[in-house]
A and B are shown apart, each in its own frame.
Chain A
Amino acid sequence: MATLLEMRDITKEFPGVKALDRVNLKVEEGEIHALVGENGAGKSTLMKVLSGVYPHGSYSGDILYDGEVQSFRGIRDSESRGIIIIHQELALIPLLSVAENIFMGNERAKRGIIDWRRTEMRAADLLARVGLKESPKATVADLGLGKQQLVEIAKALSKDVRLLILDEPTSSLNEQDSDKLLALLAELRKQGVTSILISHKLNEIRQVADTITVLRDGGAVARLDCKDGISEDDIIRDMVGRSLNDRYPERDPQIRDEVAMEVTGWTVHHPVQTDRVVVRDVSFHVRHGEVVGIAGLMGAGRTELAMSLFGRSYGRDISGTAKINGHVADLSTVRSAINAGLAYATEDRKTYGLVLDETIRRNVPLAKLDAVADGVVVNGAREAEVAERYRGRLNIKSSSIEQETVNLSGGNQQKVVLSKWLFADPDVLILDEPTRGIDVGAKFEIYTVIRDLAASGKAIIVISSEMPELLGITDRLYVMNEGRFVGEMPTAEASQEKIMARIIKSGDRVQ
């Protein structure tokens, strides 16, 4: 195999930080090369250097592509050589059709007039190639995330891609869609397309990657060949520079007898299509000191369940009863839900969790601002003290509490969201995908916080799509599928296979 890409001694500095320090990356033609590392290790920066987002001259070192030294001045330059990046946040325009999106900026046109027939025919070819059975005329917004991801790949293929870079492509996909995507990458490999895959999901990397480069603190610390049979633990050791004997903290659950929250017959309708039932007759309970998980595939209705409980933030025609500490709780508004002792930390911290342009200090007390105020006047000193306390307790890595949360890494942002809810001091805390998109080290810290909260008598509900995580940190599991709870089991007796079996069986019954 020939070497397609070689990045030599790439160094990129930002004021005060060396983001990349003499990084070497070598990618062979026709392989799937995985790039792993904790958040902030420099993966995205390296890919921005490669694609010309940081133009030639703003970094030192050489990019050899196709045997020639390249000096890309922008994305257009790198795209013209067949290097295409698909970012985590997809760059599709939701209200345009699949075909229009595929040829966006690259229209099939004659003298500025679009040839729709050719556009749609070519689009149909490309869709067939990525295995997406949708009409080229379908509106992108109507497709699920998994299908949108495939549209992005079709778009890349339309540009005669040779080196496809995917940044966390499966982070918001469910297991089936992820598998489909990985299979497609393997298929493209056969057709000669080289890929660089950035991912936190080590099992997926092991599934498809040929070679792995591990970045840590701006340097490439290891290059692993997958033929040698490496384990996830090997990769983790290189990523964090220490061995994580256990990815989950030791726990010694002390579950009390008192039920903290009990929900019976909870049913929620879709906010727009009101005849659609999103959550159907769900009943569950959680005890003080207990960590309960809700497993299920993407779209099972877990977030909808949580948000409908939390101040009716989702859905309409909600029925059922919810008791907290034995009393029927008023959950009609977010405020009353918080007062009743419920908290919900969202899965989407940027959209629903943080006021990004504001500082840590201002975000932490937001859910219980009255507690840092004398009457209506905010007490600055007390506010700072609270923010400082949680910054220390959750180990939020930041220059100070005055740092704006937009500049924090994903893991630290998540810790700010958690701080906010810890300060609100709920009895029942619902955590929705608490570790999505954050690195291994920060995950461990968050698991530890969850454990300590439970130990202090709080009731915790964890919603997660990563089954190993649920198996690692919970005491009891509910399985949700298509809006219903289809199984309950103690975590000690649970396994990924058992959970999947419940999901699949319940699906059969519906059909």
Chain B
Amino acid sequence: MSQIVDETADRPAGEQARASWRFLKGHLREYGILFALIAIMAFFQVATGGILLKPVNLTNLVLQNSYIVIMAVGMLLVIVAGHIDLSVGSVLGFIGALAAVMIVNWDVPYPVAAVVCLAAGAVIGMAQGFWIAYFRIPSFIVTLAGMLVFKGLTLWLLAGQSVGPFPPQFQLISSGFLPDLFAMEGFNLMSFLIGLAVAVGLTLLALRNRAAQAKTGAPEEPFAFFAAKTAIVFIGITWMSWLMADFRGLPNVFIVMALLIAIYSFVTSRTTTGRRIYAIGGNEKAAMLSGINAKRLTFLTFANMGMLAALAGLVFAARLNTATPKAGATFELDVIAAVFIGGASMAGGVGTVVGAVIGAFIMGVMNNGMSILGIGIDYQQVIKGLVLLAAVIFDVMNKKKG
């Protein structure tokens, strides 16, 4: 790790900068979204007079968007596979209602209820995936039906009432923070150290990948670009964890989210299963004739989506501390928008987990920032709509040019 053979590192600075710029222009599609998030955060940080990145607000931001991020990860797989899932908002609401009825009305112990809810989500996903994968019913229609069905079942289950509150332990899912073993006053050292460890880990991973690239051939990214990118990620994560540690530390949900992002990033980019999902989204017929079991993978993709929607449902219910018949309405649109802002293609076969997560945070930061600024919900909707359109236009134009 210490010795990295890197020819491009020896070039003079001016040339480095030019090469980096050229590279950035060539890969605007991949990095544009990250820069957009940074720019939007910078804008609101200034516009809100520094409120956006206050530790308490940052923590709130993460909590507010956690369920969207969790579902965006699953939706990314669905969209990459060439499908769509419109039912996730209703499923989220339904699972929240199921949890409330089990825990509050029937006194089921909350760990049991949580497991049952996750399983129920997976079964819902399977039920929809079954028709989509094995009977080739368009996913738009199956999940549109699912959206209506589960909206109705939520109402039925709750008998039109809100059900709550949940026991305090259950609420910890979304209101709890990582305990601090060091027990420092006013600063969660444990959380900061975890954040720092993740930042160091990611940097080492990046260095290792680059070393591997250098071994098999010249690395694609100019050194200056690589260095800048790695530094931004390192500083960003360290800084964010410092900020959150300064409030109450890393929220439990944040840990869950980070794990999901890490696992699904790995699955999509490095495993055979992930590779095959991209292949069926890119060209299902060719994938099937290459021996890929497209039906089963599509089925599993929806099962996974259902399970993640259930997880999001638990998180959301715990956050509101009650299950309401309206919970989850139009969430599917936010989730789908996040995935498309993150660079996924409607046609399937294209998109990344990290892109979808960044897309979700772009939406989240804008919601949060505009609310702080006191911009009315009317304008907020308009602006969010236009941002979605702009992101996709940018993506399409960029693809044409390249």
Contacts and interface: CB of A to CB of B under 8 A. Distances in A.
Interface of A: 310-311, 313, 333-335, 337-338, 344, 346, 351-358, 362, 366-367, 369-370, 373, 376-378, 380-381, 384-385, 402, 420, 424
Contacts of A420: 290
Nearest to A384: B216
The 9 closest A-B pairs by CB, nearest first: A355-B282, A367-B290, A335-B291, A334-B291, A355-B283, A366-B290, A338-B291, A376-B271, A369-B272
B212 A380 contact: yes
B270 interface: yes
A310 B272 contact: no
Interface stretch (B37-45, B145-153, B161-169, B273-281): B273-281
A353 B286 contact: yes
A353 B279 CA distance: 11
Given A358-B279, A367-B290, A351 B285 contact: yes
Interface of B: 212, 215-217, 220, 270-273, 275-276, 278-279, 282-283, 285-293, 349-350
A362 B275 CA distance: 8
A358 B282 contact: yes
A378 B349 CA distance: 18
B271 A377 contact: yes
Given A358-B349, A366-B279, A369-B276, A352 B286 contact: yes
A378 B271 contact: yes
A333 to B, nearest CB: 7
A334 B289 CA distance: 6
Nearest to B281: A355
Contact of A373 (B215, B217, B272): B272
Nearest to A383: B275
Given A357-B350, A358-B278, A380-B212, A352 B289 contact: yes
A99 B113 CA distance: 64
Nearest to A338: B291
Contact of B289 (A310, A377, A380): A310
A380 B293 CA distance: 22
B400 to A, nearest CB: 13
B288 A313 contact: yes
Given A367-B291, A369-B276, A377 B286 contact: no
A357 B289 contact: no
Contacts of B220: 402
A355 B348 CA distance: 11
Nearest to A366: B290
Contacts of B217: 384
21 contacts: A310-B289, A311-B289, A311-B291, A337-B291, A355-B286, A356-B282, A356-B283, A358-B278, A358-B279, A366-B290, A367-B290, A369-B272, A369-B276, A373-B272, A376-B272, A376-B273, A381-B212, A381-B215, A385-B216, A420-B290, A424-B291
A354 B290 CA distance: 9
Contacts of B285: 351-352
A384 B291 CA distance: 21
B283 A369 contact: no
Contacts of A380: 212, 270
Given A338-B291, A352-B286, A366-B287, 4 more contacts: A335-B292, A354-B286, A356-B283, A366-B292
A333 B293 contact: yes
Given A370-B272, A378-B272, A355 B287 contact: yes
A392 to B, nearest CB: 14
Given A378-B271, A378-B275, A354 B288 contact: no
A387 to B, nearest CB: 11
Contacts of A352: 285-286, 289
Contacts of B291: 311, 333-335, 337-338, 367, 424
A381 B286 contact: no
A313 B349 contact: no
A285 to B, nearest CB: 24
Given A366-B279, A376-B272, A378-B270, A355 B288 contact: no
Contacts of B215: 381
Contacts of B349: 355, 357-358
A481 B377 CA distance: 69
Contacts of B288: 313, 334
